[in-house]
């Protein structure tokens, strides 16, 4: 329980000046003092909550760093896989281009020989 200093006399006097009876003002001042006393946190409670928050924040930092590193590794693996696929596609494309080039050359030579025999 914390100690909160409330000038109940000054509060009561203010209420009386505003039209409250002396009994109403005194009751209101006591009630407010009790409520504040129950509701106020102690310095130890605030410190305990601060420390808990600091621990939670640090745990989140560690987890975030781990997640970022895992994402980086996953991304690096995907980049490497993409590079391999590109190299494979390039090799396949080169084989097709060379094959088509030989086929075109063969067809052209065949057509030229056929034309040469006809002339």
- pLDDT, one tens digit per residue, over 15-27 is 889 898 999 988 9
pLDDT of residue 58: 98
- pLDDT, one tens digit per residue, over 90-102 is 999 999 999 999 9
Output the CA torsion sign for 11, 39, 58, 68: negative
Q: Report residue 28: phi and psi, to 5°.
A: -60, -40
The verdict on pTM exceeding 0.75 is no
Mean confidence (pLDDT) of the chain: 91
Q: Which two tokens stand for residue 30?
A: 């006591």
**Nearest Cα to 6, choosing from 27, 26, 29, 39?**
29
User: Rounded to an integer, what distance in angstroms lies between the CA atom of residue 114 and that of residue 111?
Assistant: 5
Length of the chain: 119
Domain ranges of the chain: 1-40
């Amino acid at each position: 329980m914390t100690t909160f200093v409330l000038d109940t006399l000054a509060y009561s006097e203010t209420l009386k000046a505003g039209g409250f009876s002396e009994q109403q003002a005194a009751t209101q001042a006591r009630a407010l003092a009790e409520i504040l006393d129950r509701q106020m946190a102690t310095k130890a409670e605030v410190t305990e909550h601060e420390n808990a928050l600091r621990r939670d924040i640090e745990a989140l930092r560690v987890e975030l760093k781990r997640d970022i590193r895992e994402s980086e590794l996953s991304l690096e693996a995907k980049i490497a896989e993409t590079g391999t696929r590109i190299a494979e596609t390039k090799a396949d494309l080169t084989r097709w281009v060379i094959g088509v080039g030989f086929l075109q050359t063969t067809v052209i030579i065949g057509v030229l020989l056929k034309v040469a025999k006809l002339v």
